[in-house]
């Protein structure tokens, strides 16, 4: 694709069509290739919102239509810790059970910590199976 002449200013690179200025050349080229004079590619299935980037559409859906998304596997975004989840139900579980909480459950064998006791138990069974009985034998032998 041929680009129009690139105007450079002290503050960055200016688009010839819409006069938007970009600090970095790569952002200018992406603007010309995907945004300037084009319709947004990604549309919200619940309203008239449209975006040039899928990431922005997914953020919109998780922020505005969270209750409508519960039954559909559309990725949901946590605005507090900036993580993506498979769907709104997983995000809701994360918010109530994990987000911003300390890892209080510590493995006695390797000191790895977990937010949920169930995950600690699973870790011990998978990583330290056999060690558990050995550690208990050593504890009892030292008494």
Give 45-100 pLDDT, tens digit per residue. Answer: 888 999 888 888 888 888 887 765 445 577 888 888 888 888 888 888 888 778 88
Please give the Cα distance from 140 to 54 (Å, whole number): 58
Residues 108-141 pLDDT 10s:
888 999 888 888 888 888 887 776 566 665 565 5
- What pLDDT is stored for residue 132 in this prediction? 59
The domain spans of the chain are 1-38, 42-97, 105-141
SS (H, E, C) the chain: CCCCCCEEECCEEECCCCCCEECCHHHHHHHHHHCCCCCCCEECCCCCCEECCHHHHHHHHHHHCHHHHCCCCCCEEECCCCEEECCHHHHHHHHHHCCCCCCCEECCCCCCEECCHHHHHHHHHHHCCCHHHHHHHHHHHCC
- What pLDDT is stored for residue 139 in this prediction? 60
CATH of 42-97, one of 3.30.160, 1.10.8, 3.30.2010, 3.30.1280: 3.30.160
């Amino acid at each position: 694709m041929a680009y129009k002449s690139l105007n450079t200013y002290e503050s960055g690179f200016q688009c010839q069509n819409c006069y938007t200025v970009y600090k970095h050349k790569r952002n200018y080229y992406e603007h010309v290739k995907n945004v300037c004079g084009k319709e947004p590619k990604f549309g919200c299935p619940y309203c008239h919102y449209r975006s040039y980037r899928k990431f922005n559409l997914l953020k919109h859906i998780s922020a505005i239509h969270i209750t409508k998304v519960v039954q559909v596997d559309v990725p949901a975004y946590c605005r507090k810790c900036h993580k993506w989840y498979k769907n709104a139900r997983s995000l809701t579980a994360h918010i109530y059970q994990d987000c911003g909480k300390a890892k209080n459950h510590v493995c006695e064998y390797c000191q790895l910590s977990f937010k949920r006791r169930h995950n600690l138990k699973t870790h011990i069974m998978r990583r330290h199976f056999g060690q558990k009985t050995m550690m208990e034998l050593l504890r009892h032998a030292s008494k």
